[in-house]
């Protein structure tokens, strides 16, 4: 019997959880399910451009585990594109990290930092000191979920 998967950390939940080819009725489509942790792996590796080791650290998994997650996610997305299937994002064993979003008033750069890192003195992009909390009202990054199916 395989052991249950460890809980993976994700930085954010997807804003959209369903994609389908245009012009094909939903009733006639097959679906591919991408888990939330696979979505996060795609976001970190392909959108943010992180190396697997860096992305694995963010998700609190080994580099080998991250490699398996991203390979599975890419295979599923490729299958959907090539075979004209819909993509549904849901499920998986994950926890949403509690993060704070900051913005620089000087250059407009925005980024996220985990709670507990203290007040930031400067922007990592321009090194200016005009940094403020963009999610001061308890923004979207402050939600937490554990081992749940999303949405």
* 116: confidence class by pLDDT, cuts 50, 70, 90: low
- Residue 107 or residue 143, greater confidence: 107
Q: Please give the share of the chain, as a percent, with pLDDT higher than 70.
A: 85
List all residues 6 or more positions away from 128 whose beta carbon is below 8 Å from its beta carbon: 104, 105, 106, 107, 122
What pTM does this model have? 0.65
Tell me which range, 51-65, 106-120, 130-144, is most confidently predicted by mean pLDDT: 51-65
* 145: confidence class by pLDDT, cuts 50, 70, 90: very low
Residue-averaged pLDDT of the chain: 83
Q: pLDDT of 30-88, one tens digit each?
A: 999 999 999 999 999 999 999 999 999 989 999 999 999 999 999 999 999 999 999 99
- Residue 132 or residue 33, greater confidence: 33
* 140: confidence class by pLDDT, cuts 50, 70, 90: very low
Domains and CATH numbers, the chain: 8-95 (no CATH), 99-142 (2.20.28)
- Residue 58 or residue 150, greater confidence: 58
pLDDT of residue 144 exceeding 60: no
List all residues 6 or more positions away from 46 whose beta carbon is below 8 Å from its beta carbon: none
């Amino acid at each position: 019997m395989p052991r249950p998967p460890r809980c993976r950390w994700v930085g954010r939940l997807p804003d959209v959880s369903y994609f389908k080819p245009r012009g094909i009725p939903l009733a006639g489509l097959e679906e591919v399910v991408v888990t939330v942790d696979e979505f996060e792996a795609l976001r970190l590796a392909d959108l943010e451009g992180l190396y697997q080791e860096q992305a694995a650290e963010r998700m609190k998994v080994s580099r080998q585990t991250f490699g398996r997650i991203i390979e599975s996610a890419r295979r599923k997305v490729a299958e959907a594109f090539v075979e004209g299937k819909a993509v549904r994002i849901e499920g998986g064993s994950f926890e949403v990290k509690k993060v704070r979003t900051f913005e620089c008033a000087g250059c407009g750069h925005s980024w996220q930092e985990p709670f507990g890192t203290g007040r930031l003195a400067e922007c990592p992009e321009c090194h200016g000191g005009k940094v403020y909390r963009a999610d001061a009202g308890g923004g979207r990054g402050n939600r937490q979920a554990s081992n749940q199916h999303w949405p």
